[in-house]
Amino acid sequence: MKESHVSGRHSIVQFEGRPERLSCETGALLLREADERLGLSRDLARVVEDKRDPSRVVHSMEELLRTAIMLPALGWRDQDDADFLRWDAAVRLAISDRRGISALLNSDKTEAKGLGSQPTLCRLHEGLSSDRNRSVLREFLMESAARRLKAGNGGHRQRYVTIDIDSLPIEVDGSQPGAEYNGHYDAEIFHPLIATAAELGDILDVKLRPGSVHTAEGGLEFILNVVRTAEKSLCQVAAVRMDAGFPDEETLQGLESQGVPYVARIKNNAVFDAMAEPYLTRPRGRPPTEGRTWTCEMSYQVQSWSRARRLVLIITENPRELFLNHFWLVTSWTKDEKHAEELLSCYRQRGTAEGVFGELMDSIEPALSSNRRPKSHYSGQTMADRSGKNLSFAVNEARLILAALAFNLAHAVRCVAEKAFQKGLTIKGLQEKIFKVAARVTLHARRINIILASDVCERWLTLWSKINCLGFANGRA
């Protein structure tokens, strides 16, 4: 049906609507292939607790989990987006449990059911907010990283992994339970803890916290849990790298008692500045045109510490600045285990971790805005109050973990794409250049054709064949 036309200088642009199956989210099929090879949605659905009435279930738990993970991985952050995409042909093929053309057509040739709607996903998040299900989601977040790494390592764990621990401010709109003003960030935020394997690019764990808590609050328990889980499934030996907000006596003593190696930056203060003063002199000779760095070792006991610890003073010179800069590192490694230059090189990998945090917020954009409306009556009967702070906060934590799972799934495809095309990619670049691809979906008997532009199809065939390698994580060729 012709809708309208626009006249130009040399041609006429005409708009015409046809009953075709078109999609601009064809990358969902790549994500489904990676998800199938890694077994994420399938195995997660087997272990989460589903309290729904089986007689009223329309969408399986596996399909709903796949929807909640794949839509953010594609760049769709709001639950309302599910209503917009639930009839998209490529997205339905990628997410639906139904096989073959039954994902699009019923046996009587009528249109098959769409994917879960926004209210359905709301109920999913509420069901995942129980203590047991949130614990399962967090364990599976580590498992998703472990499976990707094992796929590229012949099914074996890594030998060493350094885990980066940090807090992450997530700004929210409105007055959400647990979202509080934080003076350091000058914003209304949630303040979750996050653990990443920076050199590998995966998120290993997240834990939601109120916005006003200190950076290190609950840090020791979180860190030890991540290390224990990582050494079971991800690596043989895990070390910890932390920013200046974490190294208090409780955290350092706790890590040392468990034999967990660590390196952390210490905040400068008047005492540390006075200790550094004798070393803040430039070496003799003409200053080089480029910056340089040197180190000094010492053992020192801060007043709040129970014992002396190894400190390394890092001094940096910028030829364009008059004064030298310096900062301190504290570590449990001895000089024989890691000399100062090696320790500094290890700590500077934190920049990679901060890149992971930035990509999570830029490409996945966790939407934490759950705030249940008070409801006191239903069908004329008084209801128990289910609108309290704890439920809303737990729902938001479940959403945050699902967003992290979405990041890991997109990262798995990104790693394959970088090897296939021999160039680096950001998650945002992956979404825009590879996932956001227009296609036409046609049905012929029992066959589905995905029609792509010729140049896109060639890239996709290369990438599709490489995704098969992820199947080795589950013993699948």
The secondary structure of 286-298 as a DSSP string is PPPSS-EEEEEEE
Other CB atoms within a 10 A radius of the CB of residue 186 amount to 9
Query: How does pLDDT run along the chain (477 residues), one tens digit per residue?
Result: 555 555 556 667 777 777 778 888 899 999 999 999 999 999 999 999 998 888 888 889 999 999 999 999 999 987 788 888 888 888 888 898 888 787 787 776 777 788 888 889 999 999 999 999 999 999 999 999 999 998 888 888 889 999 999 999 998 877 788 888 898 888 899 999 999 998 899 999 999 999 999 999 999 999 999 999 999 999 999 999 999 989 999 999 999 999 999 999 999 899 999 999 999 888 777 777 788 899 999 999 998 999 999 999 999 988 888 889 999 999 999 999 999 999 999 999 988 888 899 999 999 988 887 665 555 555 566 655 554 456 889 999 999 999 999 999 999 999 999 999 999 999 999 999 999 989 888 888 778 888 888 888 888 888 988 898 887 555 444
The pLDDT value recorded for residue 477 is 42
The pLDDT value recorded for residue 10 is 60
Could you tell me the strand order of the sheet in which 158-167 lies? 202-207, 193-197, 158-167, 235-242, 262-266, 325-331, 309-317, 292-300
> Which residue type does 32 have?
R
Q: Are 307 and 257 in contact (CB under 8 A)?
A: no
The pLDDT value recorded for residue 322 is 80
Q: What is the DSSP string of 203-271?
A: EEEEE---TTS-TTTTHHHHHHHHHHHHHHHTEEEEEEEE-TTS--HHHHHHHHHTT--EEEEE---HH
Residue 323 carries which DSSP code? Answer: S
Other CB atoms within a 10 A radius of the CB of residue 454 amount to 6
Spatial separation of the C-alpha atoms in residues 161 and 259, rounded to whole Å: 15
The pLDDT value recorded for residue 179 is 87
DSSP, collapsed to helix, strand or coil, labels residue 351 as helix
Q: Quick one: which of 464, 457, 456, 461 has its CA closest to 416?
A: 464
The pLDDT value recorded for residue 389 is 56
Q: How far is CA 38 from CA 112, 300, 348, 458, in A?
A: 27, 48, 31, 24
Q: Any idea what the Cα angle at residue 344 is, between residues 342 and 350, rounded to 5°? A: 120
Q: Are 182 and 191 in contact (CB under 8 A)?
A: yes
Spatial separation of the C-alpha atoms in residues 463 and 34, rounded to whole Å: 11
Q: What is the pTM of this model?
A: 0.90
Spatial separation of the C-alpha atoms in residues 204 and 145, rounded to whole Å: 7
Residue 53 carries which DSSP code? Answer: -
The tokens of 449 are what?
Answer: 């054709």
Instruction: Give the start-to-end residue ranges of the domains of the chain.
Output: 2-127+385-474, 262-331
